[in-house]
Structure 1
Amino acid sequence: MAIVSKQLKKTDIEKRLTLPREFLRCFPSLAGNHVGTLKARDESGHHWAFQIYTCKRMRYSRPVLTRGWRQFVCTKKLTIGDKVEFYKEEEEEGEAVMYRVRVVRAVKILGYVLESRF
């Protein structure tokens, strides 16, 4: 089951990925810090490193992916309505926490939105 799932909006495609604040607990690398690195592997085995930080401009902190995110968006050719899902990988002794990232395409057919795993 995905620990983070978000349908992408315009800002997520053009600038950064802002996640709901309840997902902050899913990223232990931010404990006590405001900036960290989220390492994730996609379904093709490619490794991605996203800068993750907590956005404090709003009333509550929320995790935001910045550096590396736009490259991911462009490489995967993501569009508004697509969904990204993050899964936590099994931890190995002495290894940093690793995540898996998966894209779910929004496919419209005759006005209906279907999902397509990518």
Structure 2
Amino acid sequence: MHMQSSESEPGMKELCSKILTATDVGVRFSFPTATMREHFKLLEGSQSLDFQVMDKYSKVWTFRLYTRKNDGHPKPVLTKGWLDFVKRMGLKVGDKVIFVLHGNHNDHLGILVKRNIKLLGSEHWADL
């Protein structure tokens, strides 16, 4: 997966983005497996990892990344903390969540949320 600069802030690298489904909004967030393997190192034998992200308001959120043991296909999901984030941010099906790295050495994990809106006959992703 190529790292690319996010449009919203120079020096920010996008890890992954996803348009939210009904399951993501109501139950748990299905996290991209490739991103998990590349950026999150679960301890051997461990099925979960708590990590922190900062939103654009500088609020820190703690999420639990959980993987199911499933024939080599971990199917990672965000459990703890995720639904509180959804509720507080007012997220809906069709909104986009973007995980980013930022900071001087790309050492801080951030989260951006966007909503697709129609404006003057064309669609735009607006920050929430």
Task: Provide TM-score, normalisation by structure 1.
Answer: 0.81
Letter of the 1:50 counterpart? F
Where in structure 2 are the equivalents of 1:94-109 lying within 5 Å? 98-108=108-118
Matched, 1:13 2:18: no
Q: 2:35 aligns with which of 23, 48, 70?
A: 23
Which residue of the partner structure matches residue 16 of structure 2? 4
Change (3 A) 1:37 1:112: same
Within 2, Cα distance between the matches of 1:55 and 1:5? 21
Gapped regions of structure 1 (runs ≥ 5)? none
Letter of the 1:28 counterpart? F
Gapped regions of structure 2 (runs ≥ 5)? 1-12
Where in structure 2 are the equivalents of 1:38-49 lying within 5 Å? 38-49=51-62
Once the two structures are TM-superposed, the CA of residue 104 in structure 1 deviates from its matched residue by 1.0
8 Å Cα contact 1:82/1:104 also seen in 2: yes
Task: Provide TM-score, normalisation by structure 2.
Answer: 0.76
Letter of the 1:76 counterpart? M
Within 1, Cα distance between the matches of 2:27 and 2:70? 16
